[in-house]
Structure 1
Amino acid sequence: MADVPEADRVEGAPHPRDTRRLFGQEQAEARFLDAHAQGRLHHGWLITGPRGIGKATLAWRIARFLLAEEPGSGLFGPPETLDVDPAHPVARRIAAGAEPGLLPIRRAVDEKTGKLKTVITVDEVRRLRDFFGMSSAEGGRRIVIVDAADEMNPNAANALLKLLEEPPAGAMLLLVAHQPSRLLPTIRSRCRELRLSPLGPEAMAAALEQAVGEPRDGAALAELSGGSVGEALRILSGGGVELYVEILTLIGEIPRISRPALRKLCDSLSARAAEDRFDLLVRLFDLALARLARTGATGTPPPEAAPGEAQILQRLAPDARAARLWAGQASDLGARARAARAVNLDPGALVLDMFLRLEGAARHAVA
């Protein structure tokens, strides 16, 4: 399985089926367990929230819990957690991708290109007919995880809707959705929603330690990633924390950015991994300007994502006028750089242009 690309895997992190603990989403788990205890389990659940906050992990935890549940296990009171012993046969089969009662639906590999398709096609959803047909005689629950449901093309969405309208006996569909507004209203109306929230510093630190095996700065990464563990892992893998410090330091020198420091940053984009680093740099550049705009609009800086950040934000964004300046630059410069990069212009030159334009636009306002 390790050699097969998986659309629902974040690079550098365990697959959601292998992630044993879910941090920061206790309220969503409690809502599901409450429905389970009251015997009100719906056949369709829509798990929503920003990308990378644990939606897929929750879906796999629910599937593992339900498939491992023993008849009569509620005699001693309702379960208080979705945890399942890793040595349980169901848990071991799921870990091996060999559980007959569970079917994940996700973007498949294009046989012609060897790359993942950009959407979930109707062929993937049609697999459900065989899945439910072959297993109907065995009884018990049958669970489907669609990740991500908002990646289905129209034909796939319509095929899934038919199953939600007439679900087979014992079926449960768990739909992971980053942007539920993209789903058909009829799909949303036939599901109960479990909405997850971005992680705070403590939950982020715990989730990252589970993923990478060592402690990380949860406070900084919660800010830089917007509370998304998936995004935090991408930031970590690209040296994003250190990169953000470089960006913030340069912006903090306005009205006159250090030319040697700026050239050093631009030169770092000439390596083979320049494309990924450029994409990360532009995202963090956008974030720094957005945090400046937020500071000017609210009068209060957000929690620091780098040492000394609050002082820089307050100096450069003291009022609403400055907030409008930074917001305008954020919408213009990042989009300009991405468009230029799309036609293969030199990334170092693009970053130089970004900072110099920012310096020119902000110099008089800051002064």
Structure 2
Amino acid sequence: MSDETPEADRVPGAAHPRHAGAVIGHDEAAGTFLSAAGASRLHHAWLITGPRGIGKATLAWSITRWLLADGEPGSLQVAPDNPVSRRVAALSEPRLHLVRRAFDEKTGRLKAEITVDDIRGLLSFFHMSAAEGGRRVAIVDAADEMNGAAANALLKVLEEPPAGGVILLIAHQPARLLPTIRSRCRELRLSPLSPEDMADVLSRQGIDTDASALAALSGGSVGEALRLSGQDGLKVYAKLVNLFGTLPRFDRIKAREFADGAGGRATADGDPFDLRITLLDLFLTRLARAGLLGAPIPEAAAGEAELMARLCPDPDAARTWAGAQAELSARARAGRAVNLDPAALVMDMLIQLAGLAPAHAKA
């Protein structure tokens, strides 16, 4: 695989989870798995759930290395110079099979779903490797990205589990999975990381400055924090805060500058349109919460708390902003799906949001 080829299970701008050296902040889940393995109650399928970007894939890859390297009891740590660790990092371990959304060479984009052909590859892996014996591991990341045919094909594997096989399913939204799939898995449910654990993980990724702001904006998701960092998300968010700071006058020059940035070309490091829609969603969510719980602390941009206290002073304003967030975000993503101009879509959102401010802003 070329270094430029996008990977569906990797945050743009960050290392792939298979390269992570340690699982941070999920000791309980790791302990649950190790206890089951130590007591010879190793289930054939594990469903690792929780919000996107909190370390589910890191845990899955750590479990994979531990299983294939016959790791020591009590810890998932496997030395990076272990042959299994090196093969897993290179995706050359023959006893490992990874299922994820494939890259479509014709369109130059990642496919939108995991297809039935992807799951058939999993079936072939277990069938072909059965004669070799020993333990085999498959990772499906993310299981909630399977289409209906793929889900039904996976269910057949779970109903007749392969001898010596362990399947690790990662799911951001487990409710989207078939109940029959969930019932055949043992669940490891992960929670968002604490601020201290976030700071630890970001430091290991070489991010020491702006860690507090990234943690605030990402809501305990390291993956989201790394994505924002890799795309200068904090700088773009600061521009958004400055723009809304001009309300109710509304600076159209700043608005046009922000919107025009959405028209940039998507790369392996991210999509400028998606970044701006994500930041608008986050801004409006934090704005709505300000009317219910008070201005956000810590701030994700200078002046954010004062601005939100002014634009959303009470629960009535919070309901208005929350409703606008849901409506405009859905409209923008639908517009992009039919190839409408990204800059025009973002500009339209900004103009409509500007019209809401005079009715709720403090004098």
**What TM-score bracket applies, with the shorter chain setting the length?**
0.7 to 0.9
1:362 matches 2:357: yes
Change over 3 Å in CA distance of 1:60–1:321 after alignment to 2: same
Aligned residue type for 1:22: V
Instruction: Spell out, residue by residue over 1:315-359, the C-alpha distance to the aligned partner (whole angstroms, 9 max, x if none).
Output: 222211221222233234444444555566655555444334333
1:163 matches 2:160: no
Q: Distance in 2 between matches of 1:86 and 1:204?
A: 23
1:36 matches 2:31: no
Q: Distance in 1 between matches of 2:359 and 2:115?
A: 53
Which secondary structure does the structure 2 equivalent of 1:2 belong to? Answer: coil
Q: Distance in 2 between matches of 1:271 and 1:347?
A: 9
1:2 matches 2:2: yes
Change over 3 Å in CA distance of 1:183–1:349 after alignment to 2: closer
**1:164 deviation in Å?**
1.4
* Structure 1 contact 161–187 (Cα < 8 Å) conserved: yes
Q: Distance in 1 between matches of 2:181 and 2:200?
A: 34
Q: Give the alignment partner of residue 220 of structure 1, picking from 194, 210, 213.
A: 213
Once the two structures are superposed, the pairs formed by residues 71-110 of structure 1 within 5 Å of their partners are: 78-79=73-74, 81-110=75-104
Which secondary structure does the structure 2 equivalent of 1:292 belong to? Answer: helix
Of stretches 283-292 and 197-206 in structure 1, the one that deviates more from structure 2 is: 197-206
* Structure 2 contact 47–187 (Cα < 8 Å) conserved: yes
Match of 1:209 in 2: 203
Q: Pairwise CA RMSD of aligned residues? A: 2.8
1:200 matches 2:194: yes
Once the two structures are superposed, the pairs formed by residues 133-282 of structure 1 within 5 Å of their partners are: 133-211=127-205, 213-266=206-259, 268=261, 276-282=271-277
Match of 1:64 in 2: 65
Per the normalisation by structure 1, the TM-score is 0.86
- Structure 1: which 5+ runs fail to align? none
Which secondary structure does the structure 1 equivalent of 2:271 belong to? Answer: helix
Of stretches 47-56 and 132-141 in structure 1, the one that deviates more from structure 2 is: 132-141
Of stretches 254-263 and 238-247 in structure 1, the one that deviates more from structure 2 is: 254-263
Runs of 4+ in 1 over 6 A off after TM superposition: none
Change over 3 Å in CA distance of 1:337–1:171 after alignment to 2: closer
Change over 3 Å in CA distance of 1:91–1:204 after alignment to 2: same
Q: Distance in 2 between matches of 1:220 and 1:267?
A: 25
Which secondary structure does the structure 1 equivalent of 2:279 belong to? Answer: helix
Change over 3 Å in CA distance of 1:358–1:223 after alignment to 2: same
Q: Distance in 2 between matches of 1:145 and 1:309?
A: 41
Q: Distance in 1 between matches of 2:265 and 2:292?
A: 39
Match of 1:314 in 2: 309
Larger Rg: 1
Which secondary structure does the structure 1 equivalent of 2:196 belong to? Answer: helix
Over the matched positions of the two proteins, sequence identity in percent amounts to 60
* Structure 1 contact 291–302 (Cα < 8 Å) conserved: no
Instruction: Spell out, residue by residue over 1:184-239, the C-alpha distance to the aligned partner (whole angstroms, 9 max, x if none).
Output: 1111001110111222333223323333x342422211222232222222222222
Change over 3 Å in CA distance of 1:352–1:177 after alignment to 2: closer
* Structure 2 contact 14–230 (Cα < 8 Å) conserved: no
Change over 3 Å in CA distance of 1:256–1:44 after alignment to 2: same
Of stretches 264-273 and 176-185 in structure 1, the one that deviates more from structure 2 is: 264-273
- Structure 2: which 5+ runs fail to align? none
Aligned residue type for 2:311: L
Change over 3 Å in CA distance of 1:171–1:285 after alignment to 2: same
Q: Distance in 1 between matches of 2:261 and 2:130?
A: 58
Paired positions, count? 359
Which secondary structure does the structure 2 equivalent of 1:126 belong to? Answer: helix
Per the normalisation by structure 2, the TM-score is 0.87
Change over 3 Å in CA distance of 1:302–1:335 after alignment to 2: farther
Change over 3 Å in CA distance of 1:220–1:96 after alignment to 2: same
* Structure 1 contact 201–218 (Cα < 8 Å) conserved: no
Change over 3 Å in CA distance of 1:289–1:69 after alignment to 2: same
Of stretches 277-286 and 243-252 in structure 1, the one that deviates more from structure 2 is: 277-286
